[in-house]
Structure 1
Amino acid sequence: MPSQPQSDATAQSGHDTSADAAPSPAAKPVVGSALTIVLMATIALAMKGLLAKFVYATGMTVDGLLLLRFMIAMPFFWLGVYLFGKSRPGERKMKPVDIGWGALYGGLFFAAALFDFTAVSLIDVTVSRIVLFTFPAVVMILEVIHKRRLPPVRQVICFVITYVGLMLVLAPDGVGAVSDDLWVGAAWAFGSALTYALYLYFGQRMITVIGSMHFAALINTMAGICMIIYQLIMQRPLNLNVDGVLWTAAISMFCTVIPFFLLYEGIRRIGATQASLISLSGPAMTFFAAWMFLGEVLTIEQFFGFVVVTLGVASLKNKVTLSGLGRLLARPFASGGKP
């Protein structure tokens, strides 16, 4: 496969220059609006696992949900490109080399989606979200490996804190008390975190080359093709039904098409590393929604683990203080929502 297309030096170091460097006063409104965009996407994506539970309650399978989700979302992604992608800054027509890299990243995204929805079918939404939430830590590890440099001591401490919290969530009463189903479900969720981190970290450069809208349409199309091939090989039951189709349509539009356009646009502006940090609010939103609509609850030990994971991930790029966490979440609103 030919080498991945790259933009200028700024694009090649996307998250380094845009996420880590101090923005100039003129750039603050752009950064603020980008963080708002990513936060809105995070809210929508946080509802995905919750709605999936309603789909499974109708009898539809994971394969049925995924296949239908990609098929419904695919034309709307390309409609968005046709209506809005031609005149947007940074958007360009795709070349053959883009198709090749899109197939690779689309395959990673398909794997992440398959692992994620399988995890949700096996364990509570809240627990699966907390495990998946470790993907920013994986993104940081990939950054260390990719740049061939040892991480700062503070980041090592944050990794340890994050996964100690994760073990508190999975095994509050000790490892021996964890059921096999929970371990299996958690393994699927972590597999999703790993593949999603790979796709997000390495795919961000392609966003700067072809634009966020073209990238979203291309990746989801390739993931949909992967799903079709997977289904033809596995030939598993889909169990399609009217109620399940309606819930899946909601997932496709409100938890896929709209948030993906928002997320990729945010990544185009501020990079994957910074964008992944905003996702720290996702598990909290999912926890609240799962408690309200599904009756899921965490034990005191699990809730403490949830807090530890959240602070650990937040501290990967920010010093370990609650005030720092508050400033991060407040940044999207600092510019008064100006575009």
Structure 2
Amino acid sequence: MVGILLVLVAALLLAIQNVALKIIVSPGEFLGLFPLGGWVRPTVDHALLLLQMRMLLTVPLMVVLTPRLYDHAGQELGWFWNREALQTRPSHRHYALKVIGACTCIFLALVLLYVAISSLTTGVAVTIFFIHPAITVLLAWAILGERIQLGQLGWIGLVLIGLVLTSPSIASGALQQNWLGVGAAIAAGFAYAGYSLLTQLSLQRQPNQSVLHPVTFSLLQFITMLVLATLGLRLITIDIAPGMWAQIWSLTLVSAIAAMVAYIFNNIGIQRIGATKASLISSTTPILTALLAALLIREVLSLRQIFGIVLVTCGIAALSLRFRKSAQPD
């Protein structure tokens, strides 16, 4: 019961993180009581800034936690960045490219997801992004040659139907107005699917090839995102009123802590109840996000979109169950 509760709290914390981001970029009424948010314009530039701010808070937390979670992380990082091995051993170089590719994909996925949340209602953006397990199955078939079962195709079809229902209506003209957000959410799903596949390849033990521990891999992932976001900010212009920084940092801190605690709770939950059950519970994140956004910032969804969110959640839960049972039984 404790494991189920931990994973459910992790999903709820991720939903809180999504709503916190929406508040930063979109003004609204908090609990219907007072105005809150809208401190930055919803642009790609500011999405990059918000990711960098979050990483500036997350990386120090990970640096402090990593030695407590895994003693040999420092040694593994030294091995990974060994210049001689990178220059003289093709297998090590290819492995490093997989890891850096995974880190780059999660960076792109988060930037694009931030853009989507900025442009769409929060629940819709997160639901469209959550098609990534379906994309992962298709990419694994196309790239790795993994067989797709007939049942998986049926659930993928259900996810696609839910995606169409959740997206802004073409007839009303809303899709033309929100094409950037929809496109960003779909692209974020593809980027995250790439991240999932490359992470699987990076953590899978191979003959005559050492691999990083998941904790070391996570630390490297956060550091890479911080570096990429910082480099990206050198190419853009940020336009934020000086008096808004305190509010932005406050909610960014909430977002960073929520994400970090969710990461820890989810991993502990997986150890207690297994990956299959944890994956099923985690698939409720789109529904939890939509409910929290409706409660906290009064976002409104049509009945069609609510039905679409439910279909996507059910389809993703089923896909996750089938994948986990075949790949890593409890």
State the Cα distance separating 1:243 from its structure 2 match. 0.9
Aligned residue identity for 1:142? L
In the alignment, structure 2 segments of 5+ residues that lack a partner are 26-36, 41-45, 82-91, 205-210, 323-329
TM-score between the two structures when normalised by the length of structure 1? 0.73
Deviation by residue 1:52-110 (Cα, 9 ceiling, x = unmatched): 1222225233233112111111111111112332179xx97232257654432221111
Quote the residue 2:207 is aligned against.
Answer: none
1:201 aligns with 2:197: yes
In the superposition, relative to structure 1, how do residues 274 and 139 fare at CA in structure 2: closer, same or farther (>3 Å)? farther
CA distance in 2, matches of 1:39, 1:204: 24
State the Cα distance separating 1:266 from its structure 2 match. 6.7
Instruction: Report the number of matched residues.
Output: 286
1:42–1:281 CA contact under 8 A, matched in 2: yes
Seq. identity, %: 21
In the superposition, relative to structure 1, how do residues 206 and 266 fare at CA in structure 2: closer, same or farther (>3 Å)? farther
In the superposition, relative to structure 1, how do residues 238 and 195 fare at CA in structure 2: closer, same or farther (>3 Å)? farther
CA distance in 1, matches of 2:250, 2:236: 25
Quote the residue 1:235 is aligned against.
Answer: 237
Quote the residue 1:244 is aligned against.
Answer: 248
Q: How does 1:110-121 map to 2 (within 5 A)?
A: 110-121=107-118
TM-score between the two structures when normalised by the length of structure 2? 0.75
SS of the residue corresponding to residue 196 of structure 1 reads: helix
Quote the residue 2:212 is aligned against.
Answer: 210
SS of the residue corresponding to residue 210 of structure 1 reads: coil
In the superposition, relative to structure 1, how do residues 119 and 273 fare at CA in structure 2: closer, same or farther (>3 Å)? farther
1:155 aligns with 2:158: no
Deviation by residue 1:157-191 (Cα, 9 ceiling, x = unmatched): 2111111111111145x456334232220111111
Quote the residue 2:311 is aligned against.
Answer: 308
In the alignment, structure 1 segments of 5+ residues that lack a partner are 1-28, 320-331, 333-339
Quote the residue 1:85 is aligned against.
Answer: 70
Aligned residue identity for 2:199? G
RMSD of the alignment, in Å? 3.3
CA distance in 2, matches of 1:221, 1:81: 13
CA distance in 2, matches of 1:120, 1:273: 28
Quote the residue 2:47 is aligned against.
Answer: 62
In the superposition, relative to structure 1, how do residues 253 and 143 fare at CA in structure 2: closer, same or farther (>3 Å)? same
In the superposition, relative to structure 1, how do residues 102 and 260 fare at CA in structure 2: closer, same or farther (>3 Å)? farther
Quote the residue 2:177 is aligned against.
Answer: 181
Aligned residue identity for 1:79? V
Quote the residue 1:108 is aligned against.
Answer: 105
1:140 aligns with 2:143: no
Aligned residue identity for 1:156? L
Quote the residue 2:285 is aligned against.
Answer: 282
Which has the higher mean CA deviation after the structures are superposed, 309-318 or 273-282? 273-282
CA distance in 1, matches of 2:232, 2:55: 13
Quote the residue 1:4 is aligned against.
Answer: none
In the superposition, relative to structure 1, how do residues 220 and 149 fare at CA in structure 2: closer, same or farther (>3 Å)? closer
Quote the residue 1:18 is aligned against.
Answer: none
State the Cα distance separating 1:222 from its structure 2 match. 0.3
